[in-house]
């Protein structure tokens, strides 16, 4: 039996919720075969996979801790075995724990370091080894690296590391025909964003944007789609997708 070959294959880390879920749906609509990664939300990932299959698309769910190189190597294996290879790796997985620097519980710093920094490094390393020529690697930062809101110090520190990893990897992959970029969303209406914020904080953040609204996950997925496919001359960049937030 000859294994079916797929035109374009993507693995979306953190694909079971928030921005990741919308990215998965967008890529599936565009004909990608998609590996939908989950850490703890297996039921949500399976639900999304079933929706894609019902729409005659191609998807599988893959689980694991993004900071665990063995589990992630197995996830990459699953996608490659199912679809013949990997062209695009998109890492939306991350955690955000907010606190003034003076009051931060250092355990929270360690948690963000593990998921946001080590996790990004593990995924970037595997992607650099596995993504096929003509492919793309897309990591996720935050616009707060530039807007510098109070209480975001530890989170921004972890995301600044994501940007540095991405920019250096883009240069290290010279000659491989693989682009590496980071997307830095502004305030976006996801469970991660709403967690720990009251209505006044949410209103103020929305009004800080010249377009006077929160971003929607689809706003981010459109840019992901561009970087994953046609944007072959965009490489080694941090793309701020934030409605004009300074």
- Rg from Cα positions in the chain: 17
Q: What pLDDT score does 1 carry?
A: 33
The CA distance from 222 to 228, in Å, is 10
Distance CA(104)–CA(75), nearest Å, equals 33
Instruction: Let me know: does 127 contact 79? Beta carbons within 8 Å.
Output: no
Average pLDDT for consecutive 10-residue bins of the chain (246 residues)?
68 94 97 96 95 97 98 98 97 95 98 98 98 98 93 97 98 98 92 81 87 92 97 97 91
| The pLDDT value given to residue 4 | 58
Angle 18-29/42-54 helices, nearest 10 degrees? 20
The CA–CA distances, whole Å, from 88 to 13, 54, 145, 182, 202 equal: 11, 23, 25, 13, 33
Cβ proximity of 137 and 143 under 8 Å: no
Q: Please report which helix (H) or strand (E) contains residue 82, including its range.
A: helix 69-83
Per the annotation, the verdict on 155 as an active-site residue is yes
**For tokens 């209406």, what's the residue?**
189
Q: What would the two tokens of residue 210 be?
A: 């010249």
Structure tokens at 101: 């620097």
CATH of domain 9-241: 3.40.50.720
How many Å apart are CA 144 and CA 148, to the nearest integer?
Answer: 5
Tokens linked to 15:
């694909």
pLDDT of 5: 58
């Amino acid at each position: 039996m000859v294994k079916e070959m797929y035109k374009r294959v993507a693995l979306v880390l953190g694909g079971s919720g928030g921005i990741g879920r919308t990215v998965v749906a967008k890529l599936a609509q565009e004909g990608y075969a998609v590996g939908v990664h989950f850490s703890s939300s297996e039921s949500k990932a399976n639900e999304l996979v079933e929706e894609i299959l019902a729409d005659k698309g191609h998807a599988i769910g893959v689980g694991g801790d993004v900071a665990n190189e063995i589990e992630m190597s197995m996830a990459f294996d699953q996608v490659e075995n199912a679809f013949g290879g990997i062209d695009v790796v998109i890492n939306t997985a991350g955690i955000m724990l907010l606190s003034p620097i003076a009051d931060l519980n250092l355990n929270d710093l360690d948690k963000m370091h593990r998921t946001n920094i080590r996790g990004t490094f593990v995924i970037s390393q595997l992607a650099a080894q596995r993504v096929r020529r003509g492919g793309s690697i897309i990591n996720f930062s935050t616009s707060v690296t530039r807007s510098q809101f109070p209480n975001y110090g530890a989170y921004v520190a972890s995301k600044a590391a994501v940007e540095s990893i991405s920019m250096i990897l883009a240069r290290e992959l010279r000659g491989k025909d693989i682009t590496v970029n980071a997307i830095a969303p502004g305030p976006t209406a996801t469970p991660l964003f709403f967690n720990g914020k009251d209505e006044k904080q949410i209103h103020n953040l929305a009004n800080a944007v010249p377009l006077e609204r929160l971003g929607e996950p689809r706003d981010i997925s459109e840019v992901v789609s561009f970087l994953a496919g046609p944007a072959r001359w965009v490489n080694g960049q941090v793309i701020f997708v934030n409605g004009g937030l300074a």
